[in-house]
Amino acid sequence: MRSNLPKVIHPVGGRPMVCAVIDACLEAGCRRIVVVVGYMQELVREAVEPMRSTAQAQGATIEFAVQGQQLGTGHAVMCAAGAFEGESASAGNDVFVLCGDGPLIRSETLRTILGVHRSAGAAVTLATSVVEDPSGYGRITRDASGRFTGIVEQKNATPEQLRIREINPSYYVFDAAALFSLLKKVKRNGLTGEYYITDAPEHALAGGLRVEVVRAVPPEDVFSINTPEDLARVDGVYRSRGVRAGR
């Protein structure tokens, strides 16, 4: 990004991009939002603070959890375990796990995957997308019958897996009790030293839990933001939707 600032506070639509993710969660009916912060967390907290009044007006709350070390996505979610002690004490409480740097997320996509999750009685539901250029994304692996078998991060993918165009844009719904139980089984990746949230669905399958996969994310919503040029492109897409800048 040619910047030392946390990616999630770079502006999209006139506001820090994480605000667009919070908007989608609120519009989808979320009543508790926990933002995991770490690197330069003061700036992220400051960026999110104005959203708290918006959330309160909708009967929702925004809280923070701290990730002291940057040890991957699975570790980030584990750092929020304390905030979900009540929800994870018994089955039947759903939680989205989303990335703060995905401002093109749509509330209708979240409602779609939540509906599938609940109607199927799943422990884990994830949304996928099929894109022309899957570079940078985890690939969805399936068996010969087309059944989901796992997610392979690009760094760990074989040449054959790199050709897969169905990708993981990181939209998940978990049963809260299952989520934190599954994360205890996730091991550090041997290549990166990180704990991947993407390993959790595979552990769920191995444990006989139901995993649903929905091709619910439109390809036009899947843009990595890794450079200022990427940021400008996403900002243009976001504004083209008619979202009022800085709302």
CA distances from 92 to 11, 80, 197, 200 (A): 36, 18, 20, 18
Q: Is residue 149 a part of any domain in this protein?
A: yes
- The answer to whether residue 98 is domain-embedded is yes
Whole-number pLDDT of residue 173: 98
Separation CA 232–CA 12 (nearest Å):
8
Residues 6+ apart with CB under 8 A from 86: 93
208, part of any domain: yes
* pLDDT at res. 245: 45
**Residue 2 belongs to a domain:** no
Instruction: Tell me the residue range of the domain where 147 lies.
Output: 7-240
What are the residues whose beta carbons fall under 8 Å from the beta carbon of 165, sequence distance 6 or more?
130, 131, 132, 134
Q: How confident is the model at residue 1 (pLDDT cuts 50, 70, 90)?
A: confident
* Cα distances (angstroms) measured from residue 83 to each of 28, 29, 31, 62, 154: 20, 19, 13, 11, 31
Q: How many domains does the chain have?
A: 1
Position 247 in a domain: no
Q: What is the pLDDT of residues 209-221, one digit of tens each?
A: 999 999 999 999 9
Residue 245 included in any domain: no
Q: Exposure of 81 by Cβ count < 10 A (0-12 exposed, 13-18 middle, 19+ buried)?
A: middle
- For residue 208, the domain's CATH number is 3.90.550.10
DSSP sequence for 65-129: EE-SS---HHHHHHTTGGGGHHHHTSS--EEEEE-TT-TT--HHHHHHHHHHHHHHT-SEEEEEE
DSSP 10-63: SEETTEEHHHHHHHHHHHTT-SEEEEEE-TTHHHHHHHHTTHHHHHHHTT-EEE
Indicate the pLDDT class of residue 157, thresholds 50, 70 and 90: very high
Segment 3-61, tens digit of pLDDT? 889 999 999 999 999 999 999 999 999 999 999 999 999 999 999 999 999 999 999 99
Percent of the chain beyond pLDDT 70? 98
Which uninterrupted H or E stretch holds 150? Answer: strand 148-152
Which residues 6+ apart lie within 8 Å of 168 measured at CB? 126, 128, 137, 138, 139, 140, 151, 198
Question: Over the stretch 47-88, which tens digit does the pLDDT of each residue have?
Answer: 999 999 999 999 999 999 999 999 999 999 999 999 999 999
Model confidence pLDDT, tens digit, residues 234-245? 999 999 997 654
